[in-house]
Amino acid sequence: MKLTPIALGIAVLALSACGGGDSSGGDTTGTTSPPPVTTTPTKQTVSGVAATGAAMQGATVTLSDASGKSVDCPADATTGSFQCDVTGLAAPFVLVATGNVADSQATLISLSATAGTQTINITPLTNAIAATIVGDNPTRLLTDSGLLQSKVTPTAISTTVKAYSDALADLLSATGNAGVDLISGPLTAGAPGLDRLLDQVKVNVLPNGGVQLSSVAGASSDTPALLQLAPGVAPSASDAASLPSVATIGGIPVSDLPAASDLAGLQAAFNQCFGGSSTATARVDGNVPACSRIFVDDVDAGALQPGVPPSYLNNGADAEQEFAMPQGASAPGIFADDAMNGATFSLPEVIRVQATDKLWIKLSWTRTDGIRDGTQAIVQVALQPGARTSDDTGWRMVGNQRQVLTRVVGLVQKWDWLNPTKATAGANAFVSSLSLQVGTVDRNGVPVDFAIVKGPGLRNGIFLQPVGAGGVCDTLNIRAQLTASQTPAQAAALSRQNACRNNYRLAGAAQDTSAQLTWPVGNAAWSNPQLSASELAAITPFSVYTFDIYQGGNTATPARTYQVRLRTPPLAPESLRQYAWQEVSQTVRNLLTPGSGAAFTGGPTFPVSWTSAAGVPFVKRSSVQIRSTIGAAPQVFVNGSARARPAAPGTTLTLDVPGDQGTAFPSVAAATGATDSSFVNVTWSDAFDLSFNTSVEYNH
């Protein structure tokens, strides 16, 4: 028998302990026992890719084990690939990746119930699997090792992965991923494998752990499909019908849908238009050749595809009005802004396929100063086949071709009222809203008399009208919630008000569960009564809202009617208690509060500060409003807003917000009016364009 080094060492020790080496038991001076043999554990690694379809840019990845130990996992800033040294760590593992997604940020979770070297990818699907296993917000696993040990088992992972695989069977097959493991399968951005699946399925994990899934094909159908799972509820094989791989457009099944990769030429045109030595003047004056490959206006009539509009029009604005000098805006559009020089554009995200040659997309960019932003757009194949080249497949921006601004956006808000005696809803609250925006004039400058918007969550409809005499608003003002019997003519007879309101509050919940929420009554911008849970649940991704636009004094028949889809619905207020919020600092709260000893005394800018929170997208913008009456002087009302740079969690930032048009903010400390107020919010959005903000307000 040949002894291994370890066994040999044990044998020598045993002999030494028995006096081996001198059978007479005599003098042992000069003999020594060899030192015990030690071995170094074989290095074990967990590797994978953090991606949402496109690679997660600038991702930071951390792995934690069952005992709460954590390790940082170096990640490639471009590809999202990472590796963790898990030598000596005990399963189960939870991995978290935070990184850039379009113009926002995402935090995603992935799980493994076994130790050792393995592949674990981190994607929206692994995040959904983790949420279903936990039955709650999966980020709870990061701070609760007991939850990790009790919930994350080999059986829980295998059965949940199988449930999702069964529900995604059609999409897995259509993308060449049949039989591929959803957590450990091959994943390389832009290559065959799970990346193709991630391009086809949209996954949103709600703050309470509920999951929403839709396929790009389903979102493109005449009747969009959505699979909505309650916290802890796994999908079933029958749910595959809600996640089709074939779209139905105009009643015709279409399997060969355009994808984000088809827009690489448009992405390149944007990068060339804004890159190099390009300046705002050169772009606006048409002196950058690549800029002519962006808008449909620059396509020669002879090269234009039949049925494609000859010029860009979006929400009542042409290309110059939207991208050079936006109407009513206090800042230039991206083409006329030298701060955009050198900006880089990501591959556009496909939100919805409207036709085989027409897409609703998200266009995102990063400026050289780090500020990231984006916009939604409609693009279409505008060039005839003979006019296309290998690097120009003919996609151009065409806009939604609507003559009037009509927009609906989901919004959720954490609202802190600093004067408890004047809390609008009786207590600090979480509020879910829809932003309903309607332009005051059409494309030709003809005034809009009023508008009526109908759709999920709006009951009999919402009436919007221009602001009253002396008021200035960029959009129509929400004036009333219509009754079942109220006619457009009766609504049109309502007196005008001076408030500028386009956020329609649907429902709310007190932040403190022991507090009393008093939903405002008689306020046109607050649904009365607030929506029930079932009414809120009826607002789903891609819900349709009808905008009837009345002009020319005709109160019987709308001049125009538009069908507008909501991308992402607002969340139920109760679930927002489980969301990680960005919070403005106590310093800002003191600045807004008369009598605090540190109230704002007036000036050209207002300093807004916060510490960037973990697990939530970075703040993109801050807004300030101060309404102040000093002594017997007329009341002064000044707005202002500014963009913020992305920041790592734990970073404290201060943003100096200027008053609009260079107007100085009045004093909060010296305010004496009974209706004076001071207000600050910080705003961000998730990867699905749902808008979040924390609002802090003091009302006298």
Cα dihedral: 50, 53, 55, 57 (round 10)? -90
Q: Specify the pLDDT at position 49.
A: 95
**Stretch 127-148: mean pLDDT:** 94
At 657-688, the pLDDT tens digits run: 999 988 999 999 999 999 999 999 999 999 99
Q: CA angle 516-521-526, nearest 5°?
A: 95
Query: What DSSP assignment string belongs to 241-278?
Result: GGS-SSEEETTEEE-S---GGGGHHHHHHHHHHHSTT-
Distance CA 437, CA 166 (A): 41
- Whether residue 20 is predicted with pLDDT greater than 50 in this model: the reply is no
What is the model's pLDDT at position 380? 98
Q: Is the per-residue pLDDT at 14 higher than 60?
A: no
Model confidence pLDDT, tens digit, residues 201-241: 999 999 999 999 999 999 888 888 899 999 999 999 999 99
Tokens read off for 690:
């749902």
Which tokens is 412 given? 């959720």
pLDDT at residue 222 in the model: 87
pLDDT at 32 over 70: no
Report pLDDT for 223.
85
Token pair 């956006």 in the structure block, residue: 409
Comparing CA positions, the residue from 561, 533, 271 lying closest to residue 403 is 561
- Report for 13-22, 289-298, 492-501, 644-653: range of highest mean pLDDT: 289-298
d(CA 489, CA 450): 10
Is there a contact between 73 and 54 (Cβ–Cβ < 8 Å)? Answer: no
Torsion angle, CA of 569/573/574/578, rounded to 10 degrees? Answer: 80
396 has pLDDT over 70: yes
- DSSP-derived pairing of the beta strands 252-254 and 247-249: antiparallel
- Residue 27 — very low, low, confident or very high, per pLDDT cuts 50/70/90? very low
Q: What's the rounded Cα separation, in Å, for the pair 431 and 576?
A: 9
Q: At what angle do helices 154-167 and 124-134 cross, to 10 degrees?
A: 120
- Report the distance separating Cα 399 and Cα 661, nearest Å: 29
User: Could you state, in order of their start, the residue ranges of all structural domains in the chain?
Assistant: 1-39, 45-252, 260-397, 406-574, 586-699
Strands 636-643 and 621-628: antiparallel
- CB of 700 closer than 8 Å to CB of 594: yes
Greatest extent of the chain over all pairs of C-alpha atoms, in Å: 123
For the cut 80, the answer to whether the pLDDT of residue 471 exceeds it is no
What tokens appear for 415 in the block?
């609202």
**Distance (Å, whole) CA 593 – CA 668:** 7
Q: Tell me the C-alpha distance between 418 and 423, whole Å.
A: 8
Q: How far is CA 654 from CA 213, 227, 331, 651, 698, in A?
A: 37, 41, 21, 10, 20
- pLDDT for 31 equals 55
Distance from C-alpha of 587 to C-alpha of 584, rounded to nearest angstrom: 8
Backbone angles phi, psi at 7, to 5 degrees: -65, -40
Q: Cα–Cα distance between 165 and 499 in angstroms, integer? A: 51
Tens of pLDDT along 485-541?
Answer: 999 999 999 999 988 899 999 999 999 999 999 999 889 999 999 999 999 999 999
Closest CA to 686 of 530, 569, 598, 563: 569
CB 671 within 8 A of CB 594: yes
Q: Sort strands 118-119 and 45-49 into parallel, antiparallel or unpaired.
A: parallel
pLDDT digits (tens, 9 = 90+) for 422-447: 999 999 999 999 999 999 999 999 99
Cα gap 529→474, rounded to integer Å: 28
What pLDDT, on a 0 to 100 scale, did the predictor assign at position 290?
97
* pLDDT for 19 beyond 80: no
Give me the pLDDT at residue 672, please. Answer: 95
Torsion of CA 404, 410, 416, 422, to 10 degrees: 50
Confidence of residue 78 (pLDDT cuts 50, 70, 90): confident
Residue 164 one-letter amino acid: Y
| Contact status, residue 622 vs residue 641, Cβ threshold 8 Å | yes
Strand partners for 627? 637, 677
- 188 vs 464 pLDDT, higher one: 464
Q: What is the pLDDT of residue 17?
A: 33
| pLDDT value of position 661 | 85
Average pLDDT score over the chain? 92
